[in-house]
Structure 1
């Protein structure tokens, strides 16, 4: 996508949807990978905690 068409699309979205909605969408897309890695870290932590609990029994 060309820079001009991206800029046109962005300005159209802002004028139609409003700045807060466009900003929220941008942040959700940007932080999606970070959220996925955080979820994976929680699952790994849960696995380690379960292993430690079973070792102590």
Structure 2
């Protein structure tokens, strides 16, 4: 049990940072995908 607590304390912070960064990247990728999908419509209006 003690080994498990040490493992969690050592890897908990990097896991939390990774999850946070993956969430931020996902939000930005959604914006890029939306922009790419609306590009043909915007090109027709030029």
Q: TM-score range by the shorter chain?
A: 0.5 to 0.7
Among candidates 7, 15, 25, match of residue 45 of structure 1: 25
* Alignment RMSD: 1.0
Gaps of 5+ in 1: 1-20
Alignment size in residue pairs = 37
Corresponding residue of 1:18: none
Runs of 4+ deviating beyond 3 Å: none
| TM-score (structure 2 length as normaliser) | 0.66
The Cα shift of 1:53 comes to 0.8
